[in-house]
Structure 1
Amino acid sequence: MTFSLAARCPRTGEFGVVVSSSSPAVAARCAYVRAGVGAACSQNVTDPRLGPELLDALADGADAETAVARLTQAVRHVDWRQLTAVGVSGEPAAYSGDRTLGVHAQAVGADAVAAGNLLADPGVPAAMLAAFAADPAAPLAQRLVDALSAGAAAGGEAGPVHSAGLLVSGQVPWPVTDLRVDWTDGDPIEELATLWKRWEPQAADYVRRALDPAAAPGYGVPGDPE
């Protein structure tokens, strides 16, 4: 029901996740980032507890492979789960349990890991990785959006997708980008790309509003500071 990519940007220190699914509000259950720590996905028959547990293991010093291995050895019902993780250093990691649904696959690159289930084509994760790696100088969020679009172009899910999400950490404790299309009968990946284009010019300003309100720009709405 889901295809996703988790990644880091060595140039900026950011971490991010992009994900799409046939089910509602996929990013609310499957996508996790933590500034300075890493990114993770918990998908297939989803257990939302597992993403934060992967990030906790990364924060305690485990690399991604160790974090995933520890979790798969310790939690119940792990055969139903599909997990990915990427940390500050070392190779990203992925796990697909024996009960992962339908056509499923995973692909690991230098700074990213992609996985999917109920896919139309097992090459979807590899296509996502290739798109992500195509322009290392681009903003991480843009590379993630491009990867999701490439996954859809490579076949995506076997059926229509209805939700998508983009989550990126920066140099502050909260995600600097958290964009979601929780349900649409249209194209959630295209709608997410449109949201990103609207958000991108303002993202740094909203961080500035939190850290230094007096220096933050206004947006011309009633009650907004000049």
Structure 2
Amino acid sequence: MTWSIVARDPETGAIGIAVASRFFAVGARVPFIAPGTGAVATQALINPLYGPRGLALLRGGAGAAEVVHALVADDSGRDHRQVQVMDARGRFAAHTGTDCVDWCGAIADDLCGLAGNMLAGPQVLEETARAFRENAALPFPRRLLVAMAAGEAAGGDKRGKQSAGLVIHGTEDWPDLDIRVDDHPEPIAELARLERVSRERWVHFKRYLATGADPVGITDRARIDSEIAAAVAAAQAQDAGEPAAGKAPAA
């Protein structure tokens, strides 16, 4: 009922998960990220314990394959589960239970991991991966969204569309971006709209927030407003020549 992509931004080291499904609020159920450590995406007949437990294992130094094995070994419902994991070294591993609904499976390369079930066919993951590879020039959030749009154009969830989510973590415990569309006729397109809205202020504002290195952050509102205005103007000029996220690129 779901497909997801897990990846790391080679420029910044940020970790991201994008997901879509014909299921309510999938963005609240599937993605789990530990900054600088790795990620878990739990789907099919979701086991919500996989996320916290998987992240704990990753923080303890376990590799992706070891985490997947540990998660499914203790779960008698494993045949109904699908999970994919990326570890601190960028390695991917996945499990697709034998009772997951076709089409179901997982693929990975050195850039990203993808997993899906109840899909129109393997082309959904293949096209998602292709679009991610071929849009390396895009900023990381838009690259993930363009990839998901390509997967949707290839058939997506064979039951239809309902929800989508995008979570990206940089170096902090709080996310760089965490946006969801819980119920919408065009969830990936709506997610792309929200990402565009995030660039109006949030992506610039977050640089002034408290961090692990600076537990106060910047509190000078005049400075914040002035610098954000300049950043928005520069970003708008750059965006003028970029393809729109949320739309599949030409083949």
TM-score, structure 1 as length reference? 0.90
Deviation at 1:67, TM superposition (A): 1.2
Q: Distance in 2 between matches of 1:74 and 1:111?
A: 29
Task: Classify the secondary structure of the residue corresponding to 1:52.
Answer: helix
Aligned to 1:40: 40
The 10-residue stretch of structure 1 (30-39 or 173-182) with the greater mean CA deviation from structure 2 = 30-39
Q: Distance in 1 between matches of 2:59 and 2:111?
A: 17
- Larger Rg over CA atoms: 2
CA contact (8 A) 1:92 1:111 kept: no
Aligned to 1:134: 134
Identity of aligned residues (%): 34
CA contact (8 A) 1:25 1:164 kept: yes
Q: Distance in 2 between matches of 1:74 and 1:200?
A: 42
CA contact (8 A) 2:8 2:90 kept: no
Aligned to 2:74: 74
1:191 and 2:190 equivalent? yes
Code of the aligned partner of 1:213: T
Aligned to 1:223: none
Aligned to 2:248: none
Code of the aligned partner of 2:163: S
Task: Classify the secondary structure of the residue corresponding to 1:46.
Answer: coil
Aligned to 1:96: 96
CA contact (8 A) 1:209 1:216 kept: no
Q: Distance in 1 between matches of 2:29 and 2:76?
A: 18
CA contact (8 A) 1:167 1:178 kept: yes
Q: Distance in 1 between matches of 2:10 and 2:87?
A: 11
Aligned to 1:20: 20
Task: Classify the secondary structure of the residue corresponding to 1:7.
Answer: strand
Deviation at 1:136, TM superposition (A): 2.7
| Equivalent residue pairs, number | 219
Aligned to 2:224: 216
Q: Distance in 1 between matches of 2:206 and 2:22?
A: 31
Gaps in structure 1 of 5+ consecutive residues: 221-226
Q: Distance in 1 between matches of 2:207 and 2:92?
A: 28
Q: Distance in 2 between matches of 1:213 and 1:199?
A: 20
Structure 1 pair 200–52 and aligned structure 2 pair: CA distance change class (3 A): farther
Code of the aligned partner of 2:110: A
The 10-residue stretch of structure 1 (70-79 or 171-180) with the greater mean CA deviation from structure 2 = 70-79
Task: Classify the secondary structure of the residue corresponding to 1:213.
Answer: coil
Aligned to 1:30: 30
Deviation at 1:187, TM superposition (A): 0.4
Q: Distance in 1 between matches of 2:166 and 2:181?
A: 9
Deviation at 1:125, TM superposition (A): 1.1
The 10-residue stretch of structure 1 (82-91 or 129-138) with the greater mean CA deviation from structure 2 = 129-138
Deviation at 1:56, TM superposition (A): 1.4
Q: Distance in 2 between matches of 1:44 and 1:147?
A: 20
Code of the aligned partner of 1:163: S
TM-score, structure 2 as length reference? 0.82
